[in-house]
Amino acid sequence: MTETKWSVDESLIRDFSTANNEPEWLLNVRLDAFKKAEDLPLPKPDKTKIDKWNFTEFGAHNVQSAPFNALSALPEAAQAVIGEENDTQNVYVQRNNTPSILKLSDELKEAGVIFTDFATAAKEHSDLFQKYFMQQVVKADEHKLTALHAALVNGGIFLYVPKNVEIKEPVQAVFIHDDAQAALFNHVIVAAEANSSVTYVENYISTVKTEQGVANIVTEVIAGDNAQISYGAVDTLTENVTTYVNRRGITAPNARIEWSLGIMNDGNTVSENVTNLIGDGSYADTKMVVVGRGKQSMNFTTKVVHFGKHTEGYILKHGVMKDEAKSIFNGIGKIEHGASKSNAEQESRVLMLSEKARGDANPILLIDEDDVTAGHAASVGRVDPLQLYYLMSRGISQQEAERLVIHGFLAPVVNKLPIENVKKQLTGVIERKVRQ
């Protein structure tokens, strides 16, 4: 932020806010965060040095993209994740920073479900939106990147599910990155009221290469009493985009949040995924698969914090590192004093396919309560040359043999993903990432 040439300043933020008819409270949040961003430090992901990473240099804060006029006009990769157009679909498509397609079934509209783009949510559901936006889950002043996010947020969606509403079909959001100038400061809020349930799946798809780009993504998930939220994400951002992605949830009593995350970006990535189990009897489950390739460096922190009694937190992560890719897998299970009868389990496994690939798994249990159970397993290893030999001795090429071993390594996580759509997608995405 000390760079003098940086094109973002207060007037740009004011202009953007005015152009979107934002309520005053939002402009104030932005301006306040922008001021704080200057002095706040970067986050410190364990064991990865990010102070030289580019979180601030990008083409433009707001690019105008022509909207797609139908699902059939979307790039192939996006169509593949959405499937055939139909009447009961609930889909949001954003092209760079421009809301492009929004479909919400009549049934859900009548039930009071809100599903709308960030700007519309702020404008038309101002009070409700204000209650959630960077208030209870992620705060703007946590560090420089959350502050920059609050100041510059330029896209995303708001999904609100009223009490007792159970949404059967997954609600989907597809973020298409096809302008090399675009910077993605997307904010996602999924709020499910008491006894409701919803499955939300988002995709990040780059169909363009860029010299330098930034994605600074924050998700806030709020699960009310006994609500169930299943949150899936498949991220495939391109090589020179530096990604900070923070997906965090909180639970009321007996609520459940399940995360199914496939982080397949080709650029440097810091991913934070935290669930704060506030309510008694609440539950969190994170399943994550990762493939790293090229020279990318990634840091994944997955954390479940137990505040409520009888809470359960599960973390299962498998990652494969190819070429010269580096990754750190931090898994944290934290049980606060008073969270009796809770259970924290985690497992992280990293497979390295080449001499120069690096992987590290750090399982951490922090326990401040006696009457709990907890466990962790972690392993980091190189591919067994005898396995490759065995496969190749049947005529399978080295590349195909590696592909089989990688699929095999990730399968125990992929096969257990609770969202069918994400499972299917990941199989294809892993395939592509492994092949090239």
Partner 1 sequence: MSQSTLTIKDLHVAIDGKEILKGVNLEIKGGEFHAIMGPNGTGKSTLSSAIMGHPKYEVTQGTITLDGEDVLEMEVDERARAGLFLAMQYPSEITGVTNAEFLRSAVNARREEGDEISLMKFIRQMDGNMDLLEMDQDMAQRYLNEGFSGGEKKRNEILQLMTIEPKIAILDEIDSGLDIDALKVVSKGINKMRGEDFGCLMITHYQRLLNYITPDHVHVMMQGKIVKSGGAELAERLEAEGYDWIKQELGIEDETVQ
- Considering only residues 23, 404, 424, 427, which one is a binding residue for partner 1 as defined by CB under 8 A? 404
The phi-psi region of residue 12 (left if phi > 0; otherwise alpha if psi is between -120 and 50; otherwise beta) is alpha
Q: Say whether residue 329 binds partner 1 (CB under 8 A).
A: no
Q: Which residues contact 415 (CB under 8 A, 6 or more apart)?
A: 423
> Do residues 221 and 233 lie in contact, with contact meaning Cβ atoms separated by under 8 Å?
no
Residue window 346-385: x/- pattern of binding to partner 1, with contact defined by CB under 8 A = --------------------------------------xx
Q: Which stretch binds partner 1 (CB under 8 A): 10-18, 233-241, 405-413, 426-434?
A: 405-413
Minimum distance from residue 170 beta carbon to partner 1 (Å):
25
Stated as kind and residue range, the H or E segment containing 419 is none
Half-sphere exposure of 412 (CA within 13 A, CB side): 10
Min. distance of Cβ 289 from partner 1 in angstroms? 12
Nearer to partner 1, 6 or 389 (CB): 389
Measured from the Cβ of residue 191, the count of other Cβ atoms closer than 10 Å reads 25
Please report how close the Cβ of residue 422 comes to partner 1 at its closest, in angstroms: 18
- Find the binding residues for partner 1 in span 207-236 (CB under 8 A): none
Size of site (CB under 8 A) for partner 1: 24
Backbone angles phi, psi at 379, to 5 degrees: -150, 145
- 254 strand-pairing partners: none
CB of 294 to partner 1, least distance (A): 24
DSSP state of 42: P
Q: How far apart are CA 61 and CA 186, in angstroms?
A: 12
For residue 132, how far is the Cα from the chain centroid?
18
Q: Facing residues of 231 across strands?
A: 200, 259
Among 102, 364, 378, 396, binds partner 1 (CB under 8 A): 396
Is 394 a binder of partner 1 (CB under 8 A)?
Answer: yes
Closest approach of Cβ 140 to partner 1, in Å? Answer: 42
Distance CA 294, CA 169 (A): 36
CA dihedral of 329, 340, 256, 111, whole degrees rounded to 10: -140
Residue 393 has a CB neighbour count (10 Å cut-off) of 9
Q: Which is nearer to partner 1, 41 or 395 (CB)?
A: 395
Nearer to partner 1, 6 or 390 (CB): 390
Compute the least distance from the CB of residue 395 to partner 1, in Å: 4
- Interface residue with partner 1 among 390, 416, 420, 428 (CB under 8 A) is 390
Helix axes 10-19, 24-39, angle to 10 degrees: 160
Asked if residue 224 lies in contact with residue 249, where contact means CB atoms within 8 angstroms, the answer is no
Single out the segment in contact with partner 1 by CB under 8 A; choices: 55-63, 142-150, 387-395, 422-430: 387-395
Among 79, 195, 240, 387, binds partner 1 (CB under 8 A): 387
412-431 positions binding partner 1, by CB under 8 A: 412
Question: Does 389 contact partner 1 by CB under 8 A?
Answer: yes
The angle at the Cα of 269, spanning 154 to 99, to the nearest 5 degrees, equals 25
CB of 400 to partner 1, least distance (A): 6
Q: Name which position in 411, 418, 424, 427 contacts partner 1 (CB under 8 A).
A: 411
Interacting residues toward partner 1 by CB under 8 A: 384-387, 389-398, 400-401, 404-405, 407-412
